[in-house]
């Protein structure tokens, strides 16, 4: 069974966004094991108060040990894709990892370590909204792969 991890630099919470994310994870569970991981610690919090470089360094440090399998960064400069091309990405490996950067985004050099870089939209979204959109698209793509009519 495919394992999909979604890592985000965001403080953990228990709000309406999390409720929607949990529902998409539940719906996805018959096709893949999907997990959502909120990464935030004192080092990231402090780095974000210092500046962009320090914040990006702290994100890279948090993400790097988690990069195994097929790694996909969500970045504003990433490739635009439709759901069918996105579904093909989910078939690249049995272990897929998505990474949503923090408020300052990713270091350009760190992005070179990813297997794919995609953009969900030209619009700027709050991290929690991007996480909801990503979870919905993961579910949609799993439905496409498994010929379930949800995507139509």
- Please check whether residue 88 lies inside any domain of the structure: yes
CATH code of 55's domain = 3.40.1280.10
What residues are designated binding site for S-adenosyl-L-methionine? 74, 101, 120-125
pTM to 2 decimals?
Answer: 0.94
- Please check whether residue 23 lies inside any domain of the structure: yes
Is the pLDDT at 144 greater than 80, yes or no? yes
What residues are designated binding site? 74, 101, 120-125
What average pLDDT does this structure show over 55-66?
97
- Please check whether residue 78 lies inside any domain of the structure: yes
CB 48 within 8 A of CB 103: yes
> From CA 37, how far away is CA 10, in angstroms rounded?
9
> From CA 126, how far away is CA 150, in angstroms rounded?
26
- Please check whether residue 69 lies inside any domain of the structure: yes
Domain that holds residue 51: 2-147
- Please check whether residue 24 lies inside any domain of the structure: yes
Confidence of residue 150 (pLDDT cuts 50, 70, 90): confident
Q: What digits encode the pLDDT tens for the residues 69-117?
A: 999 999 988 999 999 999 999 998 999 999 999 999 999 999 999 999 9
**pLDDT value, residue 110:** 96
- Please check whether residue 152 lies inside any domain of the structure: no
**pLDDT value, residue 151:** 58
Residue 40 phi, psi (nearest 5) = -160, 130
CA 132, 70, 93, 75 torsion-angle sign:
positive
Other Cβ atoms closer than 10 A to 9: 24
Other Cβ atoms closer than 10 A to 7: 21
- Please check whether residue 94 lies inside any domain of the structure: yes
Tokens read off for 107: 């270091």
Other Cβ atoms closer than 10 A to 143: 19
Average pLDDT, the chain: 94
- Please check whether residue 17 lies inside any domain of the structure: yes
- The structure tokens 């990405």 sit at 89
Looking at the structure of the chain, the number of domains it has is 1
Is the pLDDT at 133 greater than 80, yes or no? yes
């Amino acid at each position: 069974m495919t394992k999909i991890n979604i890592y985000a630099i965001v403080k953990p919470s228990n709000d309406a966004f999390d409720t929607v994310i949990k529902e998409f994870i539940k719906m996805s569970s018959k096709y893949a094991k999907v997990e959502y991981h909120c990464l935030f610690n004192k080092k990231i919090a402090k780095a974000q108060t210092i500046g962009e470089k320090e914040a990006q360094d702290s994100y890279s440090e948090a993400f790097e040990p988690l990069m195994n399998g097929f790694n996909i960064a969500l970045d504003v400069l990433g490739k635009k894709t439709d759901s069918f091309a996105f579904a093909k990405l989910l078939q690249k490996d049995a272990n897929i990892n998505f990474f949503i950067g923090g408020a300052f985004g990713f270091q350009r050099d760190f992005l070179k370590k990813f297997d794919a870089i995609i953009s969900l939209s030209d619009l700027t979204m709050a991290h929690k909204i991007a996480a909801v959109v990503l979870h919905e698209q993961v579910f949609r793509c799993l439905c496409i792969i498994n010929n379930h009519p949800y995507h139509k």
